[in-house]
Amino acid sequence: MISPALTDALASWLDHARALDGAAPNTLTAYQGDVLGFLAFMTQHKGAQQGLGPIADVSIRDMRSWMSHERGRGISARSMARALSAVKSFYKWLAKREGFEATAVLSTRAPKFQKKLPRPLSEDAAREMITTVEMQHLEPWIAARDSAVVTLLYGCGLRISEALGLTGADVPLPDTLVIKGKGGKERIVPVLSAAKEAVMAYTRICPHPIEPDSPLFRGARGGALNQRLVQKVMEKSRLQLGLPASATPHAMRHSFATHLLTAGGDLRAIQELLGHASLSTTQGYTAVDSAQLMDVYNRAHPKA
């Protein structure tokens, strides 16, 4: 149990994160779950209801007990680091508002974990994926729809939610699209002719009227296309192509970035195209490119 005052404080912090930081709904849900889990542990750990007073007295030992408990439950180092980040963010905001010292919480170190590198497809595999996706449905307009969506993921580096968020007002596709990504941040994305043509081929035969305020990509019954349908058609295609389980819709976005980098693209420019808030996120693709280079070296070098 946590006190009403602390409950109100948590709600205010989430409102702050939503309004000022532009946190996405899924992010806010994760924040709330992480902080509530922390507060629930502290209630049990200290044997008393947690309010604004008690929560300010959390010690380094308390923090270590919480992290040890979570790891004992099987929580991964990555998830633990995310939860700690949420708790720290809440404490930083709360300490400033309530005027207490939060050093014990803010100085707690996150567990180390190895960041997963993006797993892009090769250029040939990316092209084959687009072609194979179009062959999965007997209904021509649905086949054209699926091909258009996957072409946008690869050709423009869009997240699947961004592609499915396009409306009738976006067609015919212009030379550049203004995409609203995570946190409501906007970016400008060039549109390749192949993407324009794929979307146009779909809209010409789509049986549902595509109005300016309606979703561009439709399900069989005319509603907005569900992400899961795109995931399923790619699952079927990757099995036919013998590609790994990592060949997902998001892998097409990874492929877009990696192939641009391989062709000599500027890292800052790719950061802008992807809508990454931090360059360090984009730099993960540098590691991918280096890993691929070393793989070629190890397989081809005469002394390997």
Residues annotated catalytic, as ranges: 159, 182, 250, 253, 276, 285
Distance CA 158, CA 152 (A): 6
Distance CA 299, CA 187 (A): 40
Cα dist from 207 to 10, 150, 219, whole Å: 47, 20, 11
Phi, psi of 162 (to 5 degrees): -70, -40
Residue linked to tokens 């091909």: 147
Cβ distance 30 to 82 under 8 Å? yes
- SS3 of residue 15 by DSSP: helix
Rounded-to-10 torsion of CA 12, 13, 19, 22: -160
Phi, psi of 29 (to 5 degrees): -65, -40
Residue 128 CB neighbour total at 10 angstroms? 17
Cβ distance 186 to 280 under 8 Å? no
Cβ-based neighbours of 92, under 8 Å, separated by 6 or more? 102, 106
- SS3 of residue 280 by DSSP: helix
